[in-house]
Amino acid sequence: MIITDEKLLRVKCEDVTLDEVDDLIIKLDEELKLSADNGLPGIGLAAPQIGIAKKAAIVRINNQFSVNLVNCRIANGYNKSLFDGEGCLSFPGKYEQTMRYQEIHVVDNLVWPHNFVARGLFAVVCQHEIGHYNNELLPDVALKKITRNKPRPNDECLCGSGKKYKKCHGKK
């Protein structure tokens, strides 16, 4: 069962040992499938979301991308951009605007050498799932809502770049 209580999701996660990997990935795959069968399809799931305080997650994007994120970290990120509509199985029905890298370099040399580059939606999902086991949840990365329709030209840009809106996302 996928945890939806934010307090229970905020756990300190430990590294996964080599002998734990297979069983943990099987459990994550089963829970992701069960969630889809219950009408809540997802494309990623992390161990803390099912009550296991370990640094493991899975990404399953149709038949395009399938990766197990075990003890992974993001070494580098490039081209931070606005991502509109990021969701989370632990926050059903909630979709947020976030700032995510469009390309990331993911590494893990703790359990086995694992090294890859993710781009686009694949990169966003990897950042989201790795965030779960690093105690970062969707509300933490959601952009703050503004009360007026559009920022004024000299306001700070909503993306957090520190630039004026007119010099950043307000360019015509």
Q: Across 29-33, 82-86, 142-146, which has the greatest mean pLDDT?
A: 29-33
Band of the pLDDT at 108, cuts 50, 70, 90? confident
pTM attached to this predicted model = 0.81
How many angstroms separate the CA atoms of 134 and 147, rounded?
31
Band of the pLDDT at 161, cuts 50, 70, 90? confident
Which residue stretches of the chain are H helix? 6-9, 21-37, 120-133, 138-141
Mean pLDDT of 10-19: 94
CB contact burial 83-101 (16+ within 10 A = b; e otherwise): beebbbbbbeeeebbbebb
Mean pLDDT of 10-37: 95
How many angstroms separate the CA atoms of 110 and 79, rounded?
27
- Going 62 to 54 to 87 to 122, the CA torsion angle's sign is negative
Band of the pLDDT at 79, cuts 50, 70, 90? very high
pLDDT on residue 111: 55
For the CA atoms of 112, 117, 120, 125, what is the dihedral angle to 10 degrees? Answer: 10
Domains and CATH numbers, the chain: 6-141 (3.90.45.10)
